[in-house]
C-alpha cells in the first residue's frame, strides 16, 4: 500500500496533524510519479498535454486542428480518450501517482476517461500552500494579505499568488521570458485559426509559428517546474 493510501485511511484528525509535519508524498513515490499538465480552452477538454515520467518528458497533441503544427515539431497526434486512459491504466498497473498542479488535470481525466483517480492523484497546489506556509511564512502571509485587500475592494482574486509560477519563484525556477501566463488559449486559438485558413504549417505567419513554439515551451516549463517544486517540498519536509 502506498504512503498516500495509508495517510488517507487515517481518521480526519490524524490526517490533519500528519499533513502539518510532512507532505503526502515520499521520495520513492516522486521518482515514479507521472507529472501532467494539460493545455485547453476554458471548460474544454485537453488540446495537448505535457508529461514527465521516469525523467523523460514528452508532449502529445489531441486536437486535430493542431495536427500539422504537431508534425512540424515531431509530436504524436493521438485520440484523446484512448491516450489518457492508457496513462491512467499505466499508473494503476505500476502503482504510480499522477501529479498535477491543481484539481484541473484530475477533473479532465475523469471527464474524458470516466475513471475516478481518488488517492492515485496528487494535487500539488494544496501541498504547495502547506509547504509555503511552513518554509516561506513571510511570502505566505504576503499572499494572504494581498488577496484579502482585493476581496475587501470587491475584486476577483481567483488564483492570485497561488499560481505555479508564484511557488516556482520560491525555488528560483524562472519561466521563459515569453512565458505568457494568461495567453496560452489565445496562442493556441490563433494557430488553429491560421491552419484552418492557410492549410499548411509552412504557410503560417512568423507570428503564428512563434505562438506555437511559445505554447509548447510554456507547457514544458509547467511540467518541469511542477516536478522541481515537488522535489523541493519533499526535501524540505524531510
CA 72 vs. chain centroid, Å, equals 24
Q: What confidence score (pLDDT) does residue 65 get?
A: 98
Confidence (pTM): 0.88
* Residue pLDDT, tens place only, 154-164: 998 989 999 99
In the chain, where are the structural domains located?
3-124+177-232
What's 3-124+177-232's CATH class? alpha beta
Mean pLDDT of 163-185: 91
Give the per-residue pLDDT at 24.
60
Q: What confidence tens digit (pLDDT) does each residue in 198-211 have?
A: 999 999 999 999 99
- Grid coordinates of 228: 522541481
Q: pLDDT band at 231, cuts 50/70/90?
A: very high
Average pLDDT over residues 56-85: 98
Quote the mean pLDDT of the chain.
89
Residue with cell 511542477: 226
Cβ pair 41, 111 in contact under 8 A? no
Strand 98-100 with 76-77, pairing: unpaired
* pLDDT for the residue 12: 32
Q: Which of 142-146, 177-181, 232-236 has the lowest mean pLDDT?
A: 177-181
Amino acid at each position: 500500500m502506498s504512503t498516500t493510501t495509508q495517510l488517507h485511511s487515517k481518521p480526519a484528525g490524524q490526517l490533519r496533524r500528519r499533513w502539518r509535519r510532512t507532505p503526502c508524498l515520499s521520495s520513492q513515490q516522486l521518482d515514479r510519479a507521472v507529472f501532467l499538465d494539460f493545455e485547453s480552452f476554458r471548460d474544454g477538454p485537453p488540446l495537448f498535454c505535457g508529461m514527465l515520467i521516469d525523467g523523460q518528458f514528452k508532449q502529445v497533441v489531441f486536437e486535430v486542428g493542431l495536427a500539422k503544427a504537431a508534425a512540424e515539431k515531431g509530436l504524436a497526434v493521438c485520440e484523446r480518450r484512448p491516450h489518457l486512459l492508457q496513462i491512467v491504466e499505466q499508473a494503476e498497473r505500476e502503482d504510480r501517482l499522477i501529479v498535477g498542479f491543481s484539481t484541473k488535470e484530475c477533473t479532465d481525466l475523469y471527464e474524458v476517461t470516466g475513471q475516478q483517480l481518488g488517492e492515485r492523484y496528487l494535487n500539488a497546489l494544496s501541498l504547495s500552500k502547506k509547504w509555503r506556509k511552513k518554509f516561506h511564512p513571510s511570502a505566505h502571509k504576503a499572499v494572504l494579505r494581498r488577496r484579502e485587500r482585493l476581496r475587501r475592494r470587491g475584486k476577483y482574486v481567483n488564483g492570485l499568488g497561488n499560481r505555479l509560477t508564484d511557488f516556482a519563484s520560491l525555488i528560483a525556477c524562472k519561466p521563459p521570458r515569453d512565458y505568457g501566463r494568461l495567453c496560452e488559449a489565445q496562442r493556441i486559438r490563433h494557430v488553429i485559426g491560421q491552419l484552418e485558413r492557410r492549410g499548411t504549417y509552412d504557410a503560417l505567419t512568423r507570428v503564428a509559428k512563434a505562438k506555437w513554439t511559445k505554447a509548447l515551451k510554456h507547457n514544458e516549463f509547467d511540467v518541469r517546474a511542477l516536478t522541481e517544486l515537488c522535489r523541493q517540498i519533499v526535501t524540505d519536509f524531510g
